[in-house]
Amino acid sequence: MKALRSHGAKLAALVLVLVLAVVPFYETPYNNNQITLIFIFAMAILGLNLLAGYTGQLSVAQSLLLGIGGYTAAILVTEIEMPHLLTIPAAGFVAMFFGWLIAMPVLRLQGFYLMVVTLALVFVLSPVVKEFPSVTGGPEGLLIDAPEGVGTLATDQYVYLVALAVGVLLFALAARLVNSAHGPAMKAVRDNEVVAEAIGIKTTRTKTGAFLFASAFAGVAGSLYVQVIGYVSPDSFGIGLGLALFAGAFIGGIGTIAGALIGATFVQVVPLLAGRTDASLTGVIYGTAVIVSIMAFPEGLAGLGATVNKRLRKRSTGTSPTVSPDPPTAPAATPTTSISSSRNETR
């Protein structure tokens, strides 16, 4: 049953990627850029999902790391004319390094203290960037040239396909990670750190690893972000984006790989739709969606089917879903359970 489901998921993912690979040849440059941005946010949210969803470390600093990646790429392109493609791994590594610097002290903190510190960190990027205008361009930011198209591919098509390829790579990496022995270790840290420590899981190493993955994913996303936007400024990566990514992770389904793509679509599309009437509606929709998704669908939109199924089952049989022999949501080792649901089940 489980193997079947996993094959089905692989097939669905393959079809999705093939369809997405054809899209840029039929869409306008504007739409291609919008979809590319969805891929980019999906990478950042995916990283956050590994950190917050699987390992239970809530961070709103993902926009900071995205910004670090973005600035790294922009500086490398403008200062030493590094090819755009090479800035992608470079930005990933630089963000990972900063992530490591942050993780060392911060991961000793728990729960909301971690959120408090990451929230404060997000406010640091803009003043620091403005303080060193010779490298960062100061308040005006940096303009970078878009990468040139390759062969018959126009720039927007080229960047789209690069982002898609990188995205596929990161999603495959994340899926591999959570399906390896590290996956259950991460969840054990999330569900009860003391117990995890007691059964021999190196909790600090697990948490740091998750933070490094989250940082690297955000850094890679940041380098692609500047290739699409062609511009970085100190205020592009503030608390607004940080909270939007955080919201996207929870709306899509925290603790699910597929949820990242759904969350990213939400993060990119809602402001565009809301902007037609009033830009302020974006916040209202984000906020409401986060609250509703936490209250009503503990597994996010990606787990919607499972949640509904579970509730129906509960109603029809009158028994708790935790004791049903074949629960519609997968057991704890597969990536469809979220923090809240798995905690519920263990209680």
Partner 1 sequence: MGALLQDVMSGLAAGSIYGALALALVFVFRSTGVVNFAQGEMAMISTYISLSFYNLGVPLLAAVVLSMACSFLIGITVERTLIRPVAGRTAHAASIVTVGLFLAANGIAGYVWGVEPRGFPSLFSRESVGLGGARIAVADLGALAVLVVLVFLLFLLFEKTRVGLMMRAAASQPASARMAGAPVSNLLMSGWGISAAVGAVAGALIAPAVFVSPGMMGPVFIYALAAAALGGLSSPLGAVLGGWIIGVAEAVIAPRVDFIGSQLAILIPLTIIFLVLLLRPAGLLGVQEVKRV
Q: Which of 31, 34, 179, 192 binds partner 1 (CB under 8 A)?
A: 192
Q: Which of 147, 298, 300, 335 binds partner 1 (CB under 8 A)?
A: 298
For residue 294, state whether it binds partner 1 (rule: CB under 8 A). Answer: yes
Query: What is the DSSP-derived secondary structure letter of residue 54?
Result: I
How many binding residues for partner 1 (CB under 8 A)? 51
Q: What angle separates helix 281-295 from helix 259-275, to the nearest 10 degrees?
A: 150
| Residue linked to tokens 């709306």 | 251
For residue 343, state whether it binds partner 1 (rule: CB under 8 A). Answer: yes
CA–CA distance, 304 with 252 (Å, rounded to integer): 10
CA–CA distance, 255 with 263 (Å, rounded to integer): 12
For residue 340, state whether it binds partner 1 (rule: CB under 8 A). Answer: yes
For residue 282, state whether it binds partner 1 (rule: CB under 8 A). Answer: yes
Provide DSSP, 269-310: HHHHHHHTT-TTHHHHHHHHHHHHHHHT-TTTGGGHHHHHHH
CA–CA distance, 327 with 46 (Å, rounded to integer): 26
Residues 201-260 that bind partner 1 (CB under 8 A): 239, 243, 246-247, 250
Shortest Cβ distance from residue 12 to partner 1 (Å)? 28
Q: Which of 2, 108, 176, 311 binds partner 1 (CB under 8 A)?
A: 108
Between 12 and 291, name the residue whose CB sits nearer to partner 1: 291
For residue 121, state whether it binds partner 1 (rule: CB under 8 A). Answer: yes
Between 16 and 291, name the residue whose CB sits nearer to partner 1: 291
Provide DSSP, 153-173: --HHHHHHHHHHHHHHHHHHH
For residue 109, state whether it binds partner 1 (rule: CB under 8 A). Answer: yes
Helix (H) or strand (E) holding 98: helix 84-106
Burial 196-207 (b: 16+ CB within 10 A, else e): beeeebebeebb
Q: Which of 2, 5, 113, 275 binds partner 1 (CB under 8 A)?
A: 113
For residue 288, state whether it binds partner 1 (rule: CB under 8 A). Answer: yes
Residues 4-63 that bind partner 1 (CB under 8 A): 56, 58, 60
Binding residues (CB under 8 A) for partner 1: these are 56, 58, 60, 105, 108-109, 111-113, 115-117, 119-121, 123-124, 127-128, 130-131, 192, 194-195, 198, 239, 243, 246-247, 250, 278-291, 294-295, 298, 339-340, 343-344
